[in-house]
Structure 1
Amino acid sequence: MFFGKRFSGYRGETFSGLDILVLSIIQNRDGISGYEISQVINRKFKPMWRASPGTIYPLLNRLDDKGFVETEEFIDKNNRKKKIYRISDLGMDRLKEVLKDNFESSMNTLGDYIRTIVNAWLPNENRIRGVMSCFPYHCAPIEREFNHEDYSLTNIHRIERVIKDLKFSRERISIRLEDINKEIQKFEVILKNLLEKRETNTKTIPIVDDDEYVNF
């Protein structure tokens, strides 16, 4: 599994794919709990892989021991003890280093690897594409060179596959754009309400120039 793959880091340290993923999630969501990290991973990689407490918490402890994350414990509103994680400056530096040196090249082949593995138990093509869509990288470049004179079934099936992939990508992009537009509209309403409240609840302070100040 890709999450177990080791990537060489700064000063000879190595990171697993899961180390990198968890650090990236913590970087993007400052003050996140271990449970929330598991939920993020499970939403993105379901049903291909599921993050369990027995995997995530030992990993977080290891990152904490190495100084890559900082932890904060407090009692939440339900009177339960809660621990949240933030990426440290050291963790940020190490993450940037390992991504720069290793990750991009490895991601180029990840798509083919996953497709090969999941094809045995996800024969439905739409489900395979759904799994693949959780990755932010385009791992398998579409073949653009085709023999326009080759009417063999092999060549025909290749072109059919490309058309299916492109249509699926178009559908996914349309869904994401729709979600983005909904988010924009939501925040525009919030902004409008805040501006109206500010206009209603704040008073304008008149600016007095020098002459008026003398005669005040």
Structure 2
Amino acid sequence: MKWEEITELNPGRFILVEAIKASSNNRVRQLEDMAVIQDYDNPQEAWNGYKYLHKLHPTRELYVFHTSRSDVEVVEEFFSGVRRRMKIQLQHGLPGISLTLTHNNQSIVLQTVLFDTGCAATIFDTDALAEIGIHIDFINGRAKRMYRVRGISEICYEQHIPGLQIEPIALNDFPIQLGSIQEPYGFDGILGIDFMIRAKCKAASHRSPQNVFKPHPL
């Protein structure tokens, strides 16, 4: 089915769909034909449905959208691998840190955050951030498909979170991606190159976040 047909048959619904036919051009994924798997009343049920089916069939191309969207264009991004040269605390053999996120006067400590110079974007697990009131916006969020090895990929949604703070760094207009990364990767979040550039930080040898996020001298 085309997206226009899906929206006409399912007005005002959250939809779990599978791409039957899709094409890629310049890192944009066009969904040409889709099958509706299930429709839902609320976004959390739709996301739970996605996670359950994705765990059973990780190579199937699944998405969650709200039928109020005018289009379902998907941006493609690729993990280029983890760089291991930085002197940061190792977690399961990978460079990781713990850090505090704050939003609307609510804070959460994420214990397992990957510090990855091989990832362009910053991603957080949506279930972890739900504790401080941050949820995926299936209506306005920008859908992205993150590819990894063996043809497996994850769907994320890029959005701006007003009032978000990571450690002492305020990120009022910084785009983050929300998706399911705890289960497939074992991390609460991945700090990518975009955050490192925005925060003007560099890796330090100490384990605390305050020492990891040291600004470059002007």
TM range (shorter): under 0.3
What TM-score comes out, normalization by structure 1 length? 0.21
Q: Which has the larger radius of gyration?
A: 1
Higher RCO (C-alpha 8 Å, min separation 6): 2
Higher strand share: 2
Higher helix share: 1
